[in-house]
Structure 1
């Protein structure tokens, strides 16, 4: 919808812009969404980054711990392998010395020299803590001599695996399984070698019994007692020779199907394995090494549970050290988000309050403009109304005199009069000096009846849609002003839709409360008028309600349409508002107060007066300061058959009534007038209302008709209880009023004939 616009001088616009900047300084725009996204991004980063860091550190720490555990097992198993190799090599040397000691002796020879051999065996084996006993066995496995006993007990190992294995040439059995030794009397495993005779055949066996506890004590010192590592001395077939830490009920051999068994089967001499212990069911990182050429491996295991326990402990410290400040940071960001929400809410409230203040300030400045404009327009309109009155009365005089051949010219003058009356009405409406005749109006009945008027204003290209809500409240408005407001808006909508469009009229009920922040409170009817035109730019929208402001081409708009709408709503106790955007159309909303009384029912038409029974003319006192208006009105009244006495101000008219009151006191003569027809604004001490009040003191029943163009005088005039006509008034309406007064005088018993004779 195009708004009426008048382009002011450039200097005036600059001055107004500076004034607006002074009243409403620019406030930096607050982009709360960007700040909220930034804080949320920081919060996510403060959560994700520490988590990623902790995960990376934890993973790296676990890998390092596993690598450290593997490295420790490798170093430890190497030490244990060197130790076992030294022990086994020493045993090998000891076996060789015993073999040399018995060289050339058969079983009987050894028995014969048992005491000497016993002493030598005791000396050779007694110096080593790992050696439990040194024994010599015969061809059949009988004990011939021992470092532990003298004489040797009758013991035979002929069926023992290590004896039969050495006899049969099995290398594995050179190191036996753990057993309770027949000679040593304790848990031992034996390292035996063949004792050959002079022919090189098997003549018996020399065996050195080794204590597993010796190895276990060494392992305890090597790996410590923290329980994270294990050490084992194992035969190639998986039999466990020594193990630390040892628990009761542990198996004596490793599982035949295990990674270690596979490694032995593959011939690997060293390596690292991950396997589950069949003793405690724990997962281990196991490093193993083959001890020299002996059928024995040394194994060092590291419990993964110990790795995980240490890792968990370090992770707890890491989490505590990392997330304690992170949680504090999260709380700060969360509080910042809450504060941002509160700040945004406060900003919106401030914006609403600032907008309301701007609206109030703008309305105040608009009101001041209207007041200044009203003073100017009121004076101009009053004089213009007088000119229209002169033209109107003289046209009626010509009509009544029956001039022929002038119908076309008189009709043109009457159309010009109508346009002039409409323009004057708009000027007075904008200046808030147009008298309002408020009445209770039902939109449900009135709007459909105004459809044709709106269609004519919109033109053929624009479609009209009327949507009235159910049970819309009645309004208290001036129907003529409302009609003019709708026409002004419809014309603007038509100009905004040159190629056609849709114009929608909607009516709904609204209730405003003080806390809603709306300038109005109470019950109102919202009359929304929407078009689908091009809309208004913000700079145009800001001045839409200003008088004489128009965007239409020169000669196409007066700049009084929307200001009349605004002034009408404000004077009716309501408000007018516009929503518009370029390309989105325009919506003008009129908020008009709800009427407390029900709308008046349409009364039956009064029967036409009987012209044959019309009484004679009235005696009229015409009070008018404009000579030409007075002359035209007087001539027209006389043509109607009335007697007219014309004076030019209220003071002179009051002197006539003073003289009449003096005659009334002397002779009882009645008042010389049946009606007073007076302008309100006149030179002198008194105006028309003062005159009406004074006349009522003489005769309270004497009719008085006042003529004015100013709305502020209506309330006082109504208190005087007189009829008021707005300039320029309709001659037909005046004629009807005079006829009603004539009938009233006739019914009251007065005789107009006597009046006219006098």
Structure 2
């Protein structure tokens, strides 16, 4: 259900407010917002600018490192290409010299001159560190002569790829794959060879120079130097087979394609040189920057790779130094600004506390003055109402005496007196309610059901010209109120609405559930039912609205209003644990809202009346001790009690009453006592003293004050509020007499 929030008034909201002009001079509030904004702006700048600087510097440094790594790979691969070109050119010259040495000689001739040829081969290849051996093979692949061994061992290379490839004219096989030499100490070598030709151009065999892989590995290690941990170099064939590398590769990868798939693709595409950025892969690790170059016209490439992980590692170290150097002073600055913000917040809180204290002092002073005024007014009104209650008791008692004596000639006059008594009782109730001295009989009710039953009462209060609209959902929570006070409050508001709409209008009753929490800007917290009573009348001016809840304030003509209606409404709501507010403006009507607490128990319908049981006939009245300080009230009450058949003893205060109760010579069955009377004891003190006796007596207390009624409920006594109904008193006396007879009845006899 949608509910109206108490902080959303229609035009203006009035609650009792009697604050006066403050005697304290106003102090301009410091501009905390500007100072806070300035400090926050400085803090943001102190955070953002170093971050931007570090980010820009880090990015520029990373790009510079990538460019430097790329330059290193290009320079290194160029040197490696020049070195490899010289080696392969030299090998080509050696192959040509050996071919010239044995040109025109057949296999048998070469074998016959093997000693001479061996010495010459040893001389040709022995002076070069890269050359492992020089060999001459026949057309069938058999070794004919070798620079390292004489006589040449019986060996054949007919099944080797380089032999079959050169024989078949494949250029790429002029450089073989890496192998472990069959002739020699098992060195790791790769061969460069050329075909021997007969005079008719037919294939006559092969001249081969074996190059040491370790020679290239050593050169690459020396070339890379300190960069060796981050940079790798490789010498590969055109098909990607690895010839030499640093760091060295496992034997299993010699004959495989180049480990970097991007490089293998570039070599296969026929590019002579270039720079690649490879991606991470499962076989070969992380990303790399790879530069490659073809070695002259040979089917061989030199490549140099720089690992990006090394770039990132160096960059991270640089970044850490940069972060520490930049953010250490920045953090100090942040702390200084943070402390300044904290100090500013403390100053603002201190200012707010000072303002709140000043406002509280003004409110306390004003509230104290008003409370003194209201206390004096309440005491005056309460005293008048108490005395008026006694007068009503006198009149009521004497009317009952006259009726019991059966005076027929004045029945009409007695009825008029009784009607006047009811009006006086209502006026007294209003006076005591405004003075906060009217006792509340709170109970939990279903407002929707109660409102449906009270429709006719409201309609009668509004008159025929005013339309009554009731919009109360059955989902509205039960409320904890004094039903009589609630009824009186609605009647007071309805009468005011009727007077504000002399030409007719509409009076609307609504109810909504409302949960109020701390921070809602309302003086209540908890669950409440908001009852809105809206009229379409002329409304109230602002100056009238400010005094609407003040006792005895009225704008109605003389004799038309008491000034107690709206004060009773406010006092009833406040004493019930809620609040009342008014929204009004000239020409916009008036809305009175009652905030009443939610009942803690589910309201129940009134129990069905039980069949009346016939009381057993009793004989003899009660011996009643009447305690009353007002002689006329006592005389009327005593006469009534005696007419009911009881014996009455009258005393004027509680002290004398207690002496009679304690005197065994003057037996008493019941004490009826007023609460408020002179002497050392009041009625409640008397009831407590009687309750403490060895044989306590039943006590009936009579009062018109709410605070006395609340205390009286804590003692073992029946309580009647003035002016009480004589019939109710008679019923209570019958019950007490019946209880007395039950106690004195002989044991074993039925009651």
TM-score (norm 1): 0.50
Superimposed CA distance per residue, residues 31-81 of structure 1 (whole angstroms, 9 cap, x where no aligned partner): 9xxx9xx99xx99x99x9999999999999888777665554444333322
Structure 1 residues 175 and 88, CA, compared in 2 at 3 Å: closer, same or farther? same
Structure 1 residues 590 and 300, CA, compared in 2 at 3 Å: closer, same or farther? closer
In 2, the alpha carbon distance for the partners of 1:427 and 1:474 equals: 16
In 1, the alpha carbon distance for the partners of 2:20 and 2:459 equals: 39
Instruction: Quote the residue 2:462 is aligned against.
Output: 458
Structure 1 residues 302 and 449, CA, compared in 2 at 3 Å: closer, same or farther? closer
What does residue range 234-249 of structure 1 map to in structure 2 within 5 Å? 234-249=236-251
Instruction: Quote the residue 2:272 is aligned against.
Output: 269
Q: Say whether the 8 Å CA contact 2:573–2:594 is kept in structure 1.
A: no
Deviation of the 1:131 alpha carbon: 0.9
Q: 2:370 aligns with which of 358, 366, 369?
A: 366
Q: 2:508 aligns with which of 496, 499, 502?
A: 502
Q: Say whether the 8 Å CA contact 2:176–2:191 is kept in structure 1.
A: yes
Deviation of the 1:238 alpha carbon: 3.2
Structure 1 residues 80 and 421, CA, compared in 2 at 3 Å: closer, same or farther? same
Q: Say whether the 8 Å CA contact 1:282–1:305 is kept in structure 2.
A: no
In 1, the alpha carbon distance for the partners of 2:434 and 2:369 equals: 14
Give yes or no for the alignment of 1:192 onto 2:193: yes
In 1, the alpha carbon distance for the partners of 2:441 and 2:164 equals: 132
Instruction: Quote the residue 2:628 is aligned against.
Output: none
Superimposed CA distance per residue, residues 299-319 of structure 1 (whole angstroms, 9 cap, x where no aligned partner): 334556666777888899999
Superimposed CA distance per residue, residues 682-705 of structure 1 (whole angstroms, 9 cap, x where no aligned partner): xxxxxxxxxx99xx9xxxxxxxxx
Q: Say whether the 8 Å CA contact 1:191–1:209 is kept in structure 2.
A: yes
In 2, the alpha carbon distance for the partners of 1:422 and 1:247 equals: 115
Structure 1 residues 240 and 565, CA, compared in 2 at 3 Å: closer, same or farther? closer
Structure 1 residues 581 and 355, CA, compared in 2 at 3 Å: closer, same or farther? farther
Structure 1 residues 169 and 492, CA, compared in 2 at 3 Å: closer, same or farther? same
Instruction: Quote the residue 1:253 is aligned against.
Output: 255
Based on CA coordinates, which of the two structures has the bigger radius of gyration? 1
Instruction: Quote the residue 1:730 is aligned against.
Output: none
What does residue range 274-285 of structure 1 map to in structure 2 within 5 Å? 281-282=284-285, 285=288
Structure 1 residues 372 and 287, CA, compared in 2 at 3 Å: closer, same or farther? same
Deviation of the 1:100 alpha carbon: 4.8
Deviation of the 1:292 alpha carbon: 0.8
What does residue range 90-489 of structure 1 map to in structure 2 within 5 Å? 90-101=90-101, 118-137=118-137, 143=143, 145-153=145-153, 157=157, 160-185=160-185, 186-195=187-196, 204-223=205-224, 228-255=230-257, 259-273=262-276, 281-282=284-285, 285=288, 286-302=290-306, 364-370=368-374, 454-459=458-463, 460-463=466-469, 486-489=490-493
Q: Say whether the 8 Å CA contact 2:76–2:304 is kept in structure 1.
A: yes
Instruction: Quote the residue 2:21 is aligned against.
Output: 18
Q: Say whether the 8 Å CA contact 1:172–1:295 is kept in structure 2.
A: yes
Structure 1 residues 244 and 107, CA, compared in 2 at 3 Å: closer, same or farther? same
Structure 1 residues 26 and 247, CA, compared in 2 at 3 Å: closer, same or farther? same
Structure 1 residues 152 and 490, CA, compared in 2 at 3 Å: closer, same or farther? same
Q: Say whether the 8 Å CA contact 1:507–1:527 is kept in structure 2.
A: yes
Instruction: Quote the residue 1:398 is aligned against.
Output: none
Superimposed CA distance per residue, residues 213-233 of structure 1 (whole angstroms, 9 cap, x where no aligned partner): 111122223345855443322
In 1, the alpha carbon distance for the partners of 2:108 and 2:383 equals: 163
In 2, the alpha carbon distance for the partners of 1:264 and 1:470 equals: 87
SS of the residue 1:166 aligns to: helix
SS of the residue 1:169 aligns to: coil
Q: Say whether the 8 Å CA contact 1:190–1:210 is kept in structure 2.
A: yes
Q: Say whether the 8 Å CA contact 1:502–1:531 is kept in structure 2.
A: yes
Aligned CA RMSD, in angstroms, stands at 7.5
In 2, the alpha carbon distance for the partners of 1:179 and 1:506 equals: 97
In 1, the alpha carbon distance for the partners of 2:578 and 2:500 equals: 19
Structure 1 residues 529 and 496, CA, compared in 2 at 3 Å: closer, same or farther? farther
Superimposed CA distance per residue, residues 102-151 of structure 1 (whole angstroms, 9 cap, x where no aligned partner): 56767677667665654444344233211112334456655555432345
In 1, the alpha carbon distance for the partners of 2:128 and 2:55 equals: 53
Q: Say whether the 8 Å CA contact 2:115–2:150 is kept in structure 1.
A: yes
In 2, the alpha carbon distance for the partners of 1:128 and 1:536 equals: 121
In 1, the alpha carbon distance for the partners of 2:55 and 2:223 equals: 34
Q: Say whether the 8 Å CA contact 2:238–2:268 is kept in structure 1.
A: no
In 2, the alpha carbon distance for the partners of 1:453 and 1:179 equals: 119
Superimposed CA distance per residue, residues 641-661 of structure 1 (whole angstroms, 9 cap, x where no aligned partner): xxxxxxxxxxxxxxxxxxxxx
Q: Say whether the 8 Å CA contact 1:464–1:502 is kept in structure 2.
A: yes
Q: Say whether the 8 Å CA contact 1:429–1:568 is kept in structure 2.
A: no
Structure 1 residues 250 and 716, CA, compared in 2 at 3 Å: closer, same or farther? same
In 2, the alpha carbon distance for the partners of 1:200 and 1:470 equals: 118
Q: Point out where structure 2 has 5 or more consecutive residues left out of the alignment.
A: 1-16, 386-416, 515-521, 598-608, 613-634, 637-651, 657-674, 684-701, 705-722, 727-751
What does residue range 549-588 of structure 1 map to in structure 2 within 5 Å? 560-563=564-567, 565=569, 577-581=579-583, 585-588=591-594
Structure 1 residues 226 and 267, CA, compared in 2 at 3 Å: closer, same or farther? closer
Instruction: Quote the residue 2:86 is aligned against.
Output: 86
Structure 1 residues 67 and 441, CA, compared in 2 at 3 Å: closer, same or farther? closer
Structure 1 residues 152 and 579, CA, compared in 2 at 3 Å: closer, same or farther? same
Structure 1 residues 321 and 531, CA, compared in 2 at 3 Å: closer, same or farther? farther
Q: Point out where structure 1 has 5 or more consecutive residues left out of the alignment.
A: 1-13, 382-413, 509-516, 521-525, 592-600, 605-673, 676-691, 697-712, 726-732, 737-758
Q: Say whether the 8 Å CA contact 2:481–2:576 is kept in structure 1.
A: no
Deviation of the 1:531 alpha carbon: 0.7
- Number of matched residues? 551
SS of the residue 2:21 aligns to: helix
Q: Say whether the 8 Å CA contact 1:255–1:278 is kept in structure 2.
A: no
In 2, the alpha carbon distance for the partners of 1:49 and 1:488 equals: 70
Q: Say whether the 8 Å CA contact 2:121–2:146 is kept in structure 1.
A: yes
